[in-house]
Amino acid sequence: MTDDVVLVERDGAVAVVTLNRPKQLNALSDEVMEALVSRLVELDADNEIRCIVVAGNERAFAAGADIAMLAQTTPVEAATSARLARWDAIRKIGKPVVAAVSGYCLGGGCELAMVCDLIVASETAQFGQPEINLGVIPGAGGTQRLTRAVGKAVAMDVILSGRFLTAREALDAGLVARVVAKEAWFDEARRVARAIGEKSPVAVRLAKAAVNRAHEESLQLGVEYERQAFALALASEDAREGLAAFLEKRKPDFRGR
């Protein structure tokens, strides 16, 4: 059903969620965001899926918000609408989400990539928060997440001047985890997802939550969370299996419990 604005493909323990509005460079309309969140929430609850990839197409991951829609939005709507809840819902997904970025990753698209857990980028990827050109500012976490990712200096340059970061710059600045040849971005994202999918899902979930604490909270609180998460991981069957397998010099068989 290629009319769907969001497509889902399953490949073993990996689910690939593809934004499908290529003519609009995957501009994030209400329809797209609603469908994206619904799919992510479904996959988060699906026991067979261990890692999710979110991707666009070669030309664009997502080139921003739906501008026509934005032009119709009132300030009150902007502050209170269901749109905000969708971003929170993505952040709340417990399973790891890998953003596979090729081409334009701008505005809301960049914010979407940053709310995912890690970004794998094509050498053609371009990252930016050009909302300033429209007389507004990033409104879906861009000012917060970009600054945390790349530091104040680079974030100010990107957000105030509207300039884009190349894939290489984004890698050097800490925004993306991997940059590969433009023929290899989709494959690379799936490889990363598969590798994550082979680990203990219990440990992955706890590790993701712990890293997010480091990203979002104070060190002391984060360390305390990590300690509890560690103990919880250790209590899992998967941990007993993982440790035993190591000592017995064999591959572990993680069951997700």
Partner 1 sequence: MSLVAEVETRRDGAVLQITLNRPEVFNAFNAALHAALAVALKEARDDEIRAVVITGAGRGFCAGQDLTEFSEVADDIRARLESTYHPNIRAIRTLEKPVIAAINGAAAGAGLSLACACDIRIASDAASFVPGFIGIGLVPDSGGSYFVHRLLGTARAFEWMTSNRKLSAAEGHLWGLVNEVVEAERLLERATEVATLYASLPTRGIGMTKRLFDHADTATLEEQLALEAQLQQAATQTADFREGVNAFLEKRPPRFSGA
The residue from 9, 11, 88, 187 that contacts partner 1 (CB under 8 A) is 187
Nearer to partner 1, 26 or 122 (CB): 122
The C-alpha atoms of residue 98 and residue 95 are separated, in whole angstroms, by 10
The interface region with partner 1, picked from 86-94, 147-155, 184-192, 208-216 by CB under 8 A, is 184-192
User: Among 19-27, 69-77, 182-190, 225-233, which window interacts with partner 1 (CB under 8 A)?
Assistant: 182-190
Q: Is 238 in the site for partner 1 (CB under 8 A)?
A: no
From residue 188 to residue 207, the character string flagging contacts with partner 1 as x (rule: CB under 8 A) and all else as - is x-------------------
Name the residue nearer to partner 1 (CB basis): 171 or 204. Answer: 171
> Is the CB of 94 or the CB of 174 nearer to partner 1?
174
Q: In what order do the strands lie in the sheet with 118-122?
A: 6-11, 14-19, 51-55, 97-101, 118-122, 178-180
Catalytic residue positions, numbered: 65, 108, 111, 131
**End-to-end Cα spacing for the chain:** 35
Residue type, 184: A
Does the footprint of partner 1 cover residue 177 (CB under 8 A)? no
Q: What are phi and psi of 248, to 5 degrees?
A: -90, 5
Q: Which of 70, 121, 180, 210 binds partner 1 (CB under 8 A)?
A: 180
Closer of 160 and 181 to partner 1 (Cβ): 181
State the minimum distance, in angstroms, from the CB of residue 36 to partner 1: 28
How far apart, in whole angstroms, are the C-alpha atoms of residue 26 and residue 175? 21
Taking contact as CB under 8 A, which single stretch among the options 99-107, 112-120, 179-187, 219-227 is the one that binds partner 1? 179-187
Q: Is 181 in the site for partner 1 (CB under 8 A)?
A: yes
Q: Which residues bind partner 1 (CB under 8 A)?
A: 180-181, 183-184, 187-188
